[in-house]
Chain A
Amino acid sequence: MIDKRVASAAEAVSDIFDGATIMIGGFGEAGSPVELIHALIDQGATNLTTISNNTGSGQVGLAALLKAGRVSKVVCSFPRTANSTVFPELYRSGRTKLELVPQGTLAERIRAGGAGIPAFYTPSAVGTPLAEGKECREFGGRKYLLEHGIRADFSLIKGRVADTHGNILYNKTARNFGPLMAMAAKVTIVQVAEIVEPGKLDPESIVTPGIFVDRVVGIANPAHESELVAAGASYP
């Protein structure tokens, strides 16, 4: 019988290893899997490469993972945000490397990785500094850059509700990178506020089919990053 539930965030992230590449969902605080990230901080894995849209804010969630010195490289489209001070310091001091990727190219690289497509051509970033070193080719008289699909060892994602098969629904704009990252990792770990029995979710409404999901953790009342930052929280 398929049942992808695990008992806790700590158990869900227990096998993340030093040097792992981890996709982390979220656009700003929407969809940021704060409890899974905090469990990863507790777990202790280090020398990580993270793939995410932002680098967190304040001293919680993704920013706390960075501040704890666990991340050697970030692949990211917009690594600064209001209240984002941790990454800028790490970047300026040379302790964390940055691969800057246009947001749509980042999304498509993840999608391609998950879909078994090794590379694709895109018009984004042609003629800009982010085109340096990339193959450029013309199709129909227009220039395109070759970009490579990316995969990861783990994905950490936040959904709203799952069934025990790992079918996932999201909340509003918290969907963002979740469905893509779920496809592109060897092990996809999803925290959700509610877990239901198979059959309770309308098959027509499923956003991420369970085949892309390995572990589901129930976090009934997930923390919101902006509220933690406003309260001056830091983790651990």
Chain B
Amino acid sequence: MTKPPVIGRTREEMAQRLAQDIPDGSYVNLGIGIPELVAKFVPAGRSLIYHTENGMLGMGPAPSPGEGDPELLNAGKQRVTALPGAAYFHHADSFAMIRGGHLDLCVLGALQVAQNGDLANWSTGEPDAIPAVGGAMDLVAGVKSIFVITQHCTREGEAKLVQKCTFPLTGCAVVNRIYTDLAVIEVTPNGFRLVELSPGIDFNFVQERTAAPLLRTPEPIEAG
């Protein structure tokens, strides 16, 4: 049995595409999951400084298995390292960086994004779920740019880019750009605008999987 052909970008390719758009020298907070992959694909010659909300700037990659310090963790509570020039600080300073608009970019996952930039990414609202929000609401309220990286649709094939979120919100009108397996999309005052199609994907394919109108002006780029 042969595997079905991959349609659109893989997770790694999505992260790689997003990484192209981060300017050199940015202070960046990467959420847990696909956002973490972005760090692997930063183009040569650019250096970013990673913030982790539990209290460090200058976060480096994970140590070798069994190495590291159980008290040097990232926001996902995994062991990480500190790069030369790193700084530790307490939570009030960490969230002053976030809320005070000192961080340039935050990359997050999403359950849903609405055409006005509303983000839902912390709860499906199921009554039996244990509510847990962490720093997501502070990050979207304070960081200068919010990029979402997500599959275009759920595993069940439902659109995640919608007119209005049905899941509980993380923040209102906070998302700037969305990087999916199918496209790069910008949130504008007039709604979703297609910036770029993934290789081999056409406009109608993306529009059919987006539950809100996609604007095409100016003409989107077809990535080669």
Binding site for B on A (CB under 8 A): 27-31, 53, 77-82, 87-88, 91-92, 98, 100, 102-108, 110-111, 122-130, 170-180, 207, 224-227
User: Chain B contacts of A174 at CB under 8 A?
Assistant: 71
17 A-B pairs whose Cβ atoms sit less than 8 Å apart in the complex: A27-B73, A28-B77, A30-B73, A78-B132, A103-B95, A104-B135, A104-B142, A105-B137, A108-B92, A122-B141, A123-B142, A124-B141, A125-B141, A127-B118, A129-B168, A173-B54, A180-B92
Which residue of B has the minimal Cβ distance to A180?
A: B92
Segment at the interface with A among B2-10, B150-158, B169-177: B169-177
Q: Does B99 belong to the interface (CB within 8 Å)?
A: yes
Q: Does B138 belong to the interface (CB within 8 Å)?
A: yes
User: Chain B contacts of A92 at CB under 8 A?
Assistant: 128, 130
User: Chain A contacts of B89 at CB under 8 A?
Assistant: 175
Where chain B touches its partner, the secondary structure class is loop
Binding site for A on B (CB under 8 A): 52-56, 69-73, 77, 82, 88-92, 94-95, 98-99, 118, 123, 128, 130-138, 141-142, 168-172
Are A105 and B169 closer than 8 Å at their CB atoms? Answer: no
**Bound complex: CA A62 to CA B221 (Å):** 53
Distance in angstroms from A89 CB to nearest chain B CB is 10
* Interface-centre pick from B71, B89, B123 (highest chain A CB count, 10 A): B71
With A124-B138, A172-B72, A174-B71 as contacts: A77 and B92 at CB distance below 8 Å? no
User: Chain B contacts of A175 at CB under 8 A?
Assistant: 55, 88-90
**Bound complex: CA A103 to CA B90 (Å):** 12
* Interface-centre pick from B56, B70, B118, B136 (highest chain A CB count, 10 A): B70
Are B138 and A105 closer than 8 Å at their CB atoms? Answer: yes
**Bound complex: CA A227 to CA B141 (Å):** 36
With A82-B77, A125-B141, A175-B88 as contacts: A224 and B70 at CB distance below 8 Å? yes
Out of B69, B77, B118, B141, name the residue touching A81 (CB < 8 Å): B77
**Bound complex: CA A163 to CA B56 (Å):** 25
Are B99 and A122 closer than 8 Å at their CB atoms? Answer: yes
User: Chain A contacts of B142 at CB under 8 A?
Assistant: 104, 123-124
With A81-B77, A173-B55 as contacts: A87 and B90 at CB distance below 8 Å? no
Distance in angstroms from A64 CB to nearest chain B CB is 18
Are A80 and B171 closer than 8 Å at their CB atoms? Answer: no
User: Chain B contacts of A102 at CB under 8 A?
Assistant: 133-138
Are B172 and A27 closer than 8 Å at their CB atoms? Answer: no
Distance in angstroms from B134 CB to nearest chain A CB is 4
Are A77 and B130 closer than 8 Å at their CB atoms? Answer: no
**Bound complex: CA A126 to CA B170 (Å):** 9
User: Chain A contacts of B141 at CB under 8 A?
Assistant: 122-126
Out of A91, A106, A173, A180, name the residue touching B88 (CB < 8 Å): A173
User: Chain B contacts of A104 at CB under 8 A?
Assistant: 53, 91, 94-95, 98-99, 135, 137-138, 142
Are A173 and B133 closer than 8 Å at their CB atoms? Answer: no
